[in-house]
Structures are given as structure tokens and as C-alpha cells.
Structure 1
Amino acid sequence: MKYLILMQVDPDVLAALNDEQMAAIGDGHQKFISTISETGEMLSTNALGDPAQSTVVRSRGGVPEVVDGPFAETKEFMGGYYLVDVESKERAIELAKQIPDAAIDGLALEIRPVMYSAGADM
């Protein structure tokens, strides 16, 4: 079953980390990617830009309207994700616990089952 592991980012938490801690996070993600690539569980991963770089399309009176920035004011945002193919929710949780963000107070990982997927990579 496919699961999306969403990385919830709090920019204040990241700003409080020193260079060594930030490097450890990057190294930890590379190790995690290598591990789940070797097991065949990783389908894809992407890091996302800051919400200030977002463009939102939403309906206003039944007509699509384009606006800059996030659609909701929030301190935390989705910073990226891992799409994994695992045998169970428990395995997805086990993998999420291995992501460096799981060991940093103020950051979170949300695990959500994929209900439908399509495309060349799927």
C-alpha cells in the first residue's frame, strides 16, 4: 500500500538550529533515502518551496481566481514528502520514525494513505 509521509515544517524551529544540526538533518535524509531505495520502498520524494512562493487557484463566484501566497495563514507548512510503497501502516510509521525530523521538537511527520494514484511513475 502506498503512503505519503508529509514533513510539517515550523520555520522558527529550523531557524533555531545551528549549522551542525542542519547538516545532520540533510545527512539523515540522504541516509534515509538510500535505505528505502535499497529496500524498494521509496517511490519518490520532493522538498517544497516556502509558502511565500506559492500561487493559489480558487473559485470565486464559480470563476477560477489566481492569488499569490498560501491560502491560509499558518506558521507551519508542508515542507516536502516521501511517497512510499510498504506492506502496512505500521511499516510506514516505522519508516517515518527514521526521518531526522522525527527527533526534533516542533517538527512533525504526517502519514496518510494514498487512496488513488495515476501517472507514469505509479
Structure 2
Amino acid sequence: MKYLLLKHYRGPKTSTNNVPMDQWTPDEVDAHIRFMDDFADRLRANGEFVDGQAVAPEGMWVRYDGEGKPPVVDGPFAETKDLIAGWMVIDVESEARAVELAGELSAAPAAGGRPLGEWLEVRPFMEHDHSQNEW
């Protein structure tokens, strides 16, 4: 079953590491990215990795307006309490395995090499049986 591991950056008050990411040293950032890459490589090797990306803090909100040109609003903004930092799609045998991997991913190093302890949203993909046209 496929799961989305959605990485939220919720600021220093809601992780076990109290140093905001924008205050990490270049070596700390490199160690964090190396951990993420090594984690993905390990899952690739055992067939559990599907895809993943980090996302930039800049973005915009867009919605349908019924007029043909969707309105665009600046945001989300990095100073909010909750910012999506990235995502990973995994394909695992059970929910328990998805939770286990999310716990490991949450331990990516942060400032001082301490585990970040960030919250990860774990969401199963809806399965659709195309042959039966049923969800």
C-alpha cells in the first residue's frame, strides 16, 4: 500500500530541536540532506521508495473562480506556524511499516546533530479498482 509522508516544518516550538532551520550552519543543513538522501536510497534498495521531493518555502494559492482566470494569492508564507517542507511516497506492506519509517525520517539531524523530531503526516493513498470503477 502506498503512503504519503508529508514533512511539516512547524517551527522550533513543536519539534524536539529548538533551533529554527534558517539558523542552522551549512554543515548542519548538509548533514540533514545527506540523511534524507541516505534514507531514500535505503528504501530504493528494498523497493519501498516511490518518489519524494523537498519544496521551497515560496508558493501561491490558486483556486477555481468560474470566470476562466483563477485568482492567485501570495503564500504560504514561511513565518506561519505550519509549512510543508517536502514529501515522500512509500510503498509498504502495512500501516505499521509506514509508521516505523515515518519515525525514522523524523529523526533526521538538525542543529548540533540532534534529531529534528519533526511531525510527519502519514496518509494512505486511496485505492481505486479501475476494472470495477469503484473506490
TMscore range, shorter length = 0.7 to 0.9
Distance (Å, rounded) in 2 between the aligned partners of 1:76 and 1:18: 22
| Ranges of 4+ aligned residues in structure 1 off by more than 6 Å | none
Identity score, percent:
34
> Unaligned 5+ residue runs, structure 1?
118-122
For the pair 1:104 / 2:126, whether they are aligned, the reply is no
Deviation digits for residues 34-93 of structure 1 (CA, Å, limit 9, x no counterpart): 10000100110111111xx31221245x4432223229x832211111100001111011
Q: Could you say if the C-alpha distance between residues 79 and 55 of structure 1 is closer, same or farther in structure 2, counting changes exceeding 3 Å?
A: same
Bigger fraction of residues in strand: 1
Letter paired with 2:59:
S
Distance in structure 2 (CA, Å) of the matches to 1:70 and 1:111: 21
> Structure 2: which 5+ runs fail to align?
13-19, 110-114, 129-135
CA distance in 2, matches of 1:75, 1:8: 10
Secondary structure of 1:115's counterpart equals: coil
Amino acid at match of 1:8: H
- 1:120 counterpart residue number: none
Kept in 1, the 8 Å contact 2:76–2:83? The answer is: no
User: Any idea what SS the aligned residue of 1:97 has?
Assistant: helix
CA distance, structure 2, for counterparts of residue 21 and residue 11 of structure 1: 17
Bigger helix fraction: 1
Residue among 81, 84, 96 paired with 1:78: 84
Give the whole-Å Cα distance in 2 for the aligned partners of 1:65 and 1:90: 41
- Per the normalisation by structure 2, the TM-score is 0.70
The C-alpha deviation readout for 1:16-45, integer Å capped at 9, x for no partner, is 333332222111111101100001001101
The Cα of 1:94 is off from its aligned counterpart by 1.0
TM-score (norm 1): 0.76
